[in-house]
């Protein structure tokens, strides 16, 4: 049962092979057994989850079940869920129980899905290895000496170890795609504005976007159907008709389903900086795509190299302001002892935030300061436009862009923790996509046999604005002829 995909589980539930209560209990048992080894979940509330499962079974009995009714789904602990402790991976919110539901949570609840628990993450989503969480490092199920990627590392590890059929993530600079690649999952970051940010604790508002993480593109499509949609509570949410992302995947297109598809290969993705092992697997995948009928064209994203520095101005700038609300006044952590108001602010924030969060608040405060704003923030915004324009030009020549998701497979715990710049560069292929607001998906494309253990690798497909359906389809066709995405870490099989 636990090896099954969301769509298979939905069938099992529909055919009364299993109840939601049983299924939820099954996963809760797995969490109880394996979470100590992985630290993927921050909060589990069996009673609450089983209550939802019972309600889902009742809904089904009443004939009102939808696609995700009764499916347990792990929620990244960045989504506010009513009655659930919502920590965002920070001591600052260790004691915060949300009094309201994020729009994404509302959508899952309305669909009858079950919240299986809240998953660990880098503190305030700031990190690429899940080592900045106040609640401890998450381990990669393929090798527990290694990181799962970040910041949605808890969600990635949980899905990979089959502690949940699927999970949500958020992606500001690669936080869905990079951990998906490192844990062997499929994860999609939609076009900015497709998934509501209301109730999703903000890191960098102009870059943050929620999305699903699951075994397959098919499962991601199912989840995205529920997550996406216009929300008047989010002014950056896009008011456009809802799409059925599963629909396109169901059609049989024969032996060469991708005939006519032009895949752009940016020369900047295939140069230095990527491990040869990862590159070899990407080349294999490209060969597979040609067999499926796609043609490849070389494209160029000349400003991509500027995207990491631009990102590390814009994201910290927004974060420094977004995190100002954590001041110890109204909720969350407050230092136990302080002399006066200023001292309360200083001690609360010094004790409540971890080192990486403080580093980014300092950077952000600096780049927004009087006299530096033009040189840093405005300049970064100009670069952002250049990066976006590169993609616009590239999409005149191709339909999707393909390249690696991450330059390496999962690295060792602690390996890059001391060197922020090395850590930041692990998002080199994903960050430009957020700057441009485009959709991107990471798809498992093989295993690195380098060393003792098998480590998964992901390929990244980048689509034009609102091309989620096409991205999912392109990923799905590949997954129909490969089985990388169905493989399970041996220790958790």
Partner 1 sequence: MKHWEVVIGIETHVQLSTQSKIFSGSSTAFGADPNAQANAVDVALPGVLPVLNKGAVDCAIRFGLAVGGQIAPKSVFARKNYFYPDLPKGYQISQYELPVVVGGEVAIQVVQGDEAEEKTVHLTRAHLEEDAGKSLHEDFHGKTGIDLNRAGTPLLEIVTEPDMRSSAEAVAYARALHALVRWIGICDGNMQEGSFRCDANVSVRPVGQEEFGTRREIKNLNSFRFLQQAIDYEVQWQIAEIEDGRAIQQATVLFDPDTGETRAMRSKEDAHDYRYFPDPDLLPLIIDRDWVDRARAAMPELPAAKRQRFVDEFKLSAYDAATLTASLELAGYFEAALEDGGKTNAKACANWVMVELAARLNKDGLDISQSPVSPIQLGGLIARIADGTISNNIAKKVFEALWNGEGRTADEVIEKQGLKQITDSGAIEALIDGVLAANAAMVAEFRSGKEKAFNALVGQAMKAAKGKANPQQVNELLRKKLG
> On the CB side of 216, how many CA atoms lie within 13 Å of its CA?
23
Kind and range of the H or E run holding 405: none
Interface with partner 1 includes 230 (CB under 8 A)?
no
Interface with partner 1 includes 66 (CB under 8 A)?
no
Out of 8, 94, 106, 234, name the contact with partner 1 by CB under 8 A.
234
Interface with partner 1 includes 64 (CB under 8 A)?
no
Out of 109, 296, 300, 321, name the contact with partner 1 by CB under 8 A.
321
| Catalytic-role residue among 7, 76, 139, 237 | 76
Interface with partner 1 includes 331 (CB under 8 A)?
yes
Beta partners for residue 266, in sequence order: 299
Out of 33, 233, 240, 382, name the contact with partner 1 by CB under 8 A.
233
Q: Which stretch binds partner 1 (CB under 8 A): 135-143, 200-208, 450-458, 484-492?
A: 200-208
Q: How far is the CB of 322 from partner 1 (least distance, A)?
A: 9
| Catalytic-role residue among 151, 152, 320, 426 | 151
Out of 76, 189, 197, 476, name the contact with partner 1 by CB under 8 A.
197
- Angle, in degrees to the nearest 10, between helices 46-61 and 20-38: 150
Contact present, 211 and 227 (Cβ < 8 Å): yes
Out of 58, 83, 99, 110, name the contact with partner 1 by CB under 8 A.
99
Contact present, 400 and 465 (Cβ < 8 Å): no
Q: How far is the CB of 77 from partner 1 (least distance, A)?
A: 11
Cα–Cα dist 160/91, whole Å: 26
Q: In the structure encoding, which two tokens stand for residue 2, read together?
A: 């636990």
> On the CB side of 331, how many CA atoms lie within 13 Å of its CA?
11
Interface with partner 1 includes 51 (CB under 8 A)?
no
Q: Pattern of binders to partner 1 over 364-393, x per CB under 8 A?
A: -x--xxx--x---x----------------
Q: In the structure encoding, which two tokens stand for residue 480, read together?
A: 């129909």
Out of 324, 397, 422, 449, name the contact with partner 1 by CB under 8 A.
324
CA 70 to mean position of chain CA atoms? 22
Placement of tokens 């080592």 in the chain: 131
Strand 209-214 and strand 114-119: pairing?
unpaired
Out of 204, 357, 394, 401, name the contact with partner 1 by CB under 8 A.
204
Residue in 288, 315, 279, 291 with CA at minimum distance from that of residue 429:
279
Out of 10, 68, 88, 441, name the contact with partner 1 by CB under 8 A.
88
Q: Is 76 among the catalytic positions?
A: yes
Residue in 248, 243, 195, 193 with CA at minimum distance from that of residue 218:
248
Cβ closest to partner 1, residue 288 vs residue 327? 327
Interface with partner 1 includes 102 (CB under 8 A)?
yes
Q: Compute CA distances 316 → 228, 356, 453, whole Å.
A: 26, 11, 36
Q: Which stretch binds partner 1 (CB under 8 A): 5-13, 137-145, 146-154, 312-320?
A: 312-320
Cβ closest to partner 1, residue 239 vs residue 452? 239
| Catalytic-role residue among 7, 20, 175, 442 | 175
Q: Which stretch binds partner 1 (CB under 8 A): 95-103, 112-120, 397-405, 471-479?
A: 95-103
Q: How far is the CB of 386 from partner 1 (least distance, A)?
A: 18
The DSSP 8-state label assigned to residue 128 in this structure reads S
Residue in 81, 446, 437, 432 with CA at minimum distance from that of residue 237:
437
Strand 440-448 and strand 455-463: pairing?
antiparallel
Q: What value does the CA radius of gyration of the chain take, rounded to a whole number of Å?
A: 21
Identify the three-state secondary structure at position 211: strand
Q: In the structure encoding, which two tokens stand for residue 1, read together?
A: 């049962």
Q: How far is the CB of 420 from partner 1 (least distance, A)?
A: 22
Interface with partner 1 includes 435 (CB under 8 A)?
no
Residues with catalytic function: 76, 151, 175
Applying CB under 8 A, the residues found at the interface with partner 1 are 79-80, 86, 88, 93, 96, 98-100, 102, 197-202, 204-206, 232-236, 317-318, 320-321, 323-327, 329-332, 341, 345, 365, 368-370, 373, 377
């Amino acid at each position: 049962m636990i090896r099954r995909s969301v769509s298979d589980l939905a069938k099992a539930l529909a055919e009364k092979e299993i109840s939601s209560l049983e299924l939820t209990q099954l996963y809760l048992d797995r969490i109880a057994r394996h979470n100590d080894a992985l630290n993927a979940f921050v909060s589990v509330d069996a009673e609450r989850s089983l209550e939802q499962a019972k309600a889902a079974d009742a809904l089904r009995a009443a004939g009102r079940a939808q696609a995700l009714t009764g499916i347990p789904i792990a929620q990244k602990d960045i989504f506010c869920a009513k009655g659930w402790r919502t920590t965002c991976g920070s001591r600052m919110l260790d004691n915060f129980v949300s009094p309201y539901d994020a729009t994404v949570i509302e959508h899952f609840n309305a669909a009858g899905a079950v919240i299986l628990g809240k998953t660990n993450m880098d503190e305030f989503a700031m990190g690429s290895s899940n080592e900045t969480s106040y609640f401890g490092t998450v381990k990669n199920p393929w090798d527990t000496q290694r990181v799962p990627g970040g910041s949605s590392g808890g969600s990635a590890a949980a899905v990979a170890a089959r502690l949940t059929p699927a999970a949500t993530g958020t992606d500001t600079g690669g936080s869905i795609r990079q951990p998906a690649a490192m844990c062997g999952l499929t994860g999609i970051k939609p076009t900015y504005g497709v998934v509501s940010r209301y109730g999703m604790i903000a890191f960098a508002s102009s870059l943050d976007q929620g999305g699903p993480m699951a075994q397959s593109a098919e499962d991601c499509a199912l989840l995205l159907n529920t997550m996406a949609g216009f929300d008047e509570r989010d002014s950056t949410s896009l008011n456009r008709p809802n799409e059925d992302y599963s629909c396109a995947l169901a059609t049989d297109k024969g032996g060469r389903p991708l005939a006519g598809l032009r895949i752009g290969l940016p020369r900047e993705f295939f140069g230095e900086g990527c491990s040869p092992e990862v590159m070899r697997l990407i080349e294999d995948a490209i060969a597979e795509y040609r067999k499926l009928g796609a043609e490849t064209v070389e494209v160029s994203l000349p400003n991509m190299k500027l995207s990491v520095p631009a990102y590390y101005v814009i994201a910290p700038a927004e974060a420094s302001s977004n995190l100002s609300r954590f001041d110890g006044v109204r909720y969350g952590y407050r230092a136990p002892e302080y002399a006066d108001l200023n001292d309360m602010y200083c001690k609360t924030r010094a004790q409540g935030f971890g080192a990486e969060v403080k580093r980014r608040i300092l950077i952000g405060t600096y780049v927004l300061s009087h006299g530096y704003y033009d040189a840093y923030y405005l300049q970064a915004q100009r670069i952002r436009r250049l990066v976006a324009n590169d993609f616009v030009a590239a999409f005149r020549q191709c339909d999707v862009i393909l390249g690696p998701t991450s330059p390496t497979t999962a690295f060792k715990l602690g390996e890059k923790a001391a060197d922020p710049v090395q850590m930041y560069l692990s998002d080199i292929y994903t960050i430009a996509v957020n700057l441009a607001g485009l959709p991107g998906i990471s798809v498992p494309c093989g295993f690195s046999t380098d060393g003792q253990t098998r480590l998964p690798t992901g390929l990244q497909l980048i689509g034009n604005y609102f091309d989620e359906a096409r991205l999912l389809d392109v990923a799905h066709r590949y997954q129909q002829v490969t089985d990388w995405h169905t493989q399970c870490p041996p220790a958790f099989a």
